[in-house]
Amino acid sequence: MSAAAVIRVLLVDDQPLFRRGVRMLVDSQSDLTVVGEAGDGAEAVSVAAEQLPDVVLMDIRMPRADGIAGTAGILQAAAEANRTPPRVIVLTTFDLDDAALRAIRAGASGFLLKDAEPEFLLAAIRAVHGGHAVVAPGAISDLLDHVDARTAPLPPAGSAAHDAALPELSKREREIFAAVAEGLSNAEIAAREFVSEATVKSHVGRILAKLGLRDRVQVVLYAHDRGLLPRR
């Protein structure tokens, strides 16, 4: 495999022993390599700017600057430098964690439990690098239900521009938008709409581009914050 195809990974965690274990796992893969480590969110911003990782594994709870601040800082720095931002996977010890939801709102592509199986972590790195989210939209809906009683919805950055873009969706795109927001997979949407999965994928790509969203998880957040999700 050529060097250009290797996925560059940044590890961010305040526990050196945990970082060492993950580094050994990641570096054991021919298509993955660890290009840097950081002990908190602030250090992660500077290391990311130097090493330009493709994927960041970001612990949520760290001293000085946590994973939420680190995620926001890394993505903001990339935007200011006009370069492609890395994909961020946040790591947490708690399932249905409101901190994980805040990190996703800050720009993370999903979250994993720190005790996830090694094979699942490796698959997640490859998935986010390929443009996918590592949390199923249905899981995000469960997370929203879990924290809504305690956490007020926070509109995504640039929500006014996104709202203006919503009417630009075609009738079919609106139908597929609603299905994605419900947590349906491409296969499920294809069966419902009587089209091919390739057609669904194409529609989803156009929806993301028109609304300025990164992935399907962001579609769920977008719909939730605007009261577009069906009541459950």
The pLDDT tens digits of the residues spanning 93-137 come to: 876 667 888 888 888 988 888 888 999 999 999 989 988 777 755
Closest by CA to 127, choosing from 139, 142, 141, 109, is 109
CA distance 10 to 146: 30
Specify the pLDDT at position 59. Answer: 94
Closest by CA to 197, choosing from 213, 219, 176, is 176
Specify the pLDDT at position 21. Answer: 96
Domains and CATH numbers, the chain: 3-135 (3.40.50.2300), 137-232 (3.40.50.2300)
The pLDDT tens digits of the residues spanning 188-202 come to: 999 999 999 999 999
Contact in structure between 124 and 173 (CB atoms under 8 Å)? no
Phi, psi of 11 (to 5 degrees): -105, 130
Contact in structure between 7 and 31 (CB atoms under 8 Å)? yes
CA distance 9 to 37: 9
The pair of three-digit structure tokens given for residue 161, joined into one six-digit string: 């521009």
CA distance 67 to 44: 9
Tell me the whole-structure pTM to 2 decimals: 0.77
The pLDDT tens digits of the residues spanning 24-33 come to: 999 999 999 9
Distance of CA 74 to the CA centre of its chain: 13
